[in-house]
């Protein structure tokens, strides 16, 4: 018997099949995010094991991001031409292969090659997931869906990274990558056997030429507005994140051994808050929650970047409030911007948007690196300047998001989901 189509969901809830899709996507995102994030904390083990210099290790970390950004651009013209389930499986298989190569690496150059392969395939998965989510869920419930999916980021901090470090300390730095491969294979089997094809968008895509489709996507005015807003949001976040751990230890006086506790409690709070923020964005409006998130982010960044020696409890409370503000922006903006592209352009739009995020993140981290300085005692200087820039980008993104909302509402959001009219399809 076929699972019920998304259109059969209750007016105030999700169908059983929709809940299954949300769970699968969340687990899939967990594997992708963990693979991306786990390399940095493994640096202390990888560098001596492979005789890697700090500069070479930085290249290992950035290789994934740049490969992911490039692959998103290359795939943008093709992703809307195929069943999204098949696109997802193709790139997920490549991602698993790349992660397996990371686990088998025994030299720096082989590991660098493996990270590039992983990024080339992993970079398209996130955009494909967003396209599937937008296809299968109506606009009115996308907030709660994004809220659950975004918890994968917090879960990777709370569960994934501590477990990965435990395995690496016992069996070597390769072990976490083997864990990701095993979990990914299980997720892939579930997708193959249980997930329906997602191909209703094919009925609405008259342009079969990949180059024409790409050029159409990058030349549509409202799409360009969405790309610019996404890039600006990414710049703000990536300017702050790379230096938060150093600032917490050396400026706030939190012992290094207590730092995992800060991240763990903050991650747990984010996991709890994510679904609630998603539901709030559906109930009160995506832009309202986005504006709330911007206000909280600006307030907490202003406080955070000016802190000196601070008690642990206060640091945890400030971190929780800051991440709630950031999560409110991420979840509501993902749901709101999902309504920008037409159904036939979603795959291309999401792929280009993901590439912009990757490149913008790298540029932002580089800019922040030019601003901050480290004293001989390890403390960070000029971090408040990064906070000021984040405030400017946040206020600008708020204005840009307001314009996007005004473009979306006249089009009528009730008809923006392919899933709203998609009949059941046999696997």
pLDDT per residue over 306-342, tens digit each? 988 889 999 899 989 998 898 888 888 888 887 888 7
CB atoms < 10 A from the CB of 412, how many? 10
pLDDT, residue 12, reads 47
CA-based nearest residue to 124, from 183, 80, 73: 73
Percentage of the chain lying above the pLDDT 90 cut: 16
- The reply to whether the predicted model has a pTM over 0.85 is no
Average pLDDT, the chain: 79
**Which superfamily does 6-421 belong to?**
MFS general substrate transporter like domains (1.20.1250.20)
Say whether pLDDT at 13 is over 50: yes
Cα–Cα distances (Å) from 402 to 33, 44, 234, in that order, read 29, 44, 17
Please give the backbone phi and psi of residue 373, each rounded to the nearest 5 degrees, phi first: -140, 155
pLDDT band at 421 (very low <50, low <70, confident <90, very high): very low
Say whether pLDDT at 397 is over 60: yes
Report, as an integer, the average pLDDT of 366-370.
75
CA-based nearest residue to 191, from 347, 26, 21: 21
Say whether pLDDT at 5 is over 50: no
Lowest mean pLDDT segment, chosen from 76-90, 130-144, 237-251, 258-272: 237-251
Planar angle of CA 309, 314, 320, nearest 5 degrees: 125
Strands 380-381 vs 373-374: parallel, antiparallel or unpaired: antiparallel
pLDDT, residue 164, reads 74
pLDDT, residue 89, reads 92
- Tokens 């997802």 — which residue? 88
Please give the backbone phi and psi of residue 382, each rounded to the nearest 5 degrees, phi first: 65, 20
DSSP symbols for 311-332? -HHHHHHHHHHHHHHHHHHHHH
Report, as an integer, the average pLDDT of 198-211.
68
CB atoms < 10 A from the CB of 424, how many? 14
Say whether pLDDT at 419 is over 80: no
Q: CA–CA separation, 137 vs 143, rounded Å? A: 10
pLDDT, residue 113, reads 93
- If one compares 13 and 382, the residue with the highest pLDDT of the two is 382
Report, as an integer, the average pLDDT of 223-233.
87
Say whether pLDDT at 1 is over 60: no
Report, as an integer, the average pLDDT of 411-417.
46
Lowest mean pLDDT segment, chosen from 34-48, 234-248, 408-422: 408-422
pLDDT, residue 297, reads 92
Spell out the residues 6+ positions from residue 357 whose beta carbon is closer than 8 angstroms to its own: 230, 231, 234
Q: CA–CA separation, 337 vs 325, rounded Å? A: 18
Percentage of the chain lying above the pLDDT 70 cut: 86
pLDDT, residue 420, reads 39
Say whether pLDDT at 412 is over 60: no
pLDDT, residue 376, reads 79
- Tell whether the torsion through CA atoms of 246, 247, 250 and 252 is positive or negative: negative
pLDDT, residue 426, reads 30
Say whether pLDDT at 427 is over 70: no
Lowest mean pLDDT segment, chosen from 67-71, 105-109, 225-229, 287-291: 67-71
Q: CA–CA separation, 93 vs 334, rounded Å? A: 25
Say whether pLDDT at 136 is over 70: yes
pLDDT, residue 101, reads 94
- If one compares 192 and 373, the residue with the highest pLDDT of the two is 192
Start-to-end CA distance of the chain, whole Å, equals: 10
Say whether pLDDT at 55 is over 70: no
CB 57 within 8 A of CB 47: yes
pLDDT band at 247 (very low <50, low <70, confident <90, very high): confident
pLDDT, residue 300, reads 92
pLDDT, residue 399, reads 92
Q: Which residues of 365-383 are buried (b: 16+ CB within 10 A; e: fewer)?
A: beebeebbeeeeeebbeeb
Highest mean pLDDT among 151-155, 235-239, 295-299: 295-299
Helix count and strand count (H, E) for the chain: 16, 2
């Amino acid at each position: 018997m076929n699972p019920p189509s998304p259109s059969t969901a209750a007016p105030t809830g999700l169908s059983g099949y929709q809940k299954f899709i949300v769970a699968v996507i969340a687990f899939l995102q967990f594997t992708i995010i963990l693979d991306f994030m786990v390399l940095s904390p493994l640096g202390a083990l990888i560098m001596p094991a492979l005789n890697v210099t700090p500069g070479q290790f930085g290249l290992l970390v950035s290789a994934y991001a740049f490969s992911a950004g490039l692959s998103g651009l290359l795939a943008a013209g093709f992703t809307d031409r195929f069943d999204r389930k098949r696109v997802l499986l193709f790139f997920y298989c490549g991602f698993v292969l790349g992660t397996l190569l990371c686990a088998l690496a025994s030299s720096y150059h082989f590991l660098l090659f493996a990270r590039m392969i992983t990024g080339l395939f992993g970079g398209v998965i996130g955009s494909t997931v967003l396209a599937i989510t937008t296809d299968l869920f109506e606009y009115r419930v996308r907030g709660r869906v994004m809220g659950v999916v975004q918890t994968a980021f917090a879960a990777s901090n709370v569960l994934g990274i501590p477990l990965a470090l435990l395995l690496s300390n016992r069996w070597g730095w390769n072990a976490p990558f083997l864990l990701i491969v095993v979990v990914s294979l299980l997720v892939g089997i579930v997708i193959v056997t249980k997930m329906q094809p997602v191909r209703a968008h094919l009925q609405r895509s008259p342009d079969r030429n990949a180059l024409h489709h790409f050029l159409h996507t990058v030349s549509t005015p409202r799409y360009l507005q969405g790309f610019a807003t996404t890039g600006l949001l990414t710049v703000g976040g990536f300017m702050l994140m790379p230096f938060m751990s150093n600032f917490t230890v050396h400026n706030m006086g939190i012992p290094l051994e207590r730092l995992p506790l800060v991240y763990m409690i903050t991650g747990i709070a984010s996991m709890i808050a994510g679904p609630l923020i998603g539901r709030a964005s559906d109930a009160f409006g995506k832009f309202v929650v986005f504006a709330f998130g911007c206000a909280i982010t600006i307030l907490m960044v202003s406080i955070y970047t000016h802190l000196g020696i601070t008690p642990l409890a206060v640091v945890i409370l400030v971190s929780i409030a800051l991440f709630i503000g950031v999560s409110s922006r991420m979840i509501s903006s993902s749901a709101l911007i999902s309504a920008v592209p037409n159904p036939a352009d979603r795959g291309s739009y999401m792929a280009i948007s993901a590439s912009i995020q990757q490149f913008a993140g790298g540029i932002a981290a580089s800019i922040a690196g030019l601003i901050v300085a480290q004293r001989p005692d390890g403390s960070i200087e000029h971090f408040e300047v990064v906070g000021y820039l984040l405030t400017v980008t946040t206020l600008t993104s708020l204005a840009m998001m307001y314009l996007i909302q005004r473009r979306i509402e006249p089009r009528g959001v009730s008809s923006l989901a392919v899933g709203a009219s998609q009949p059941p399809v046999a696997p």
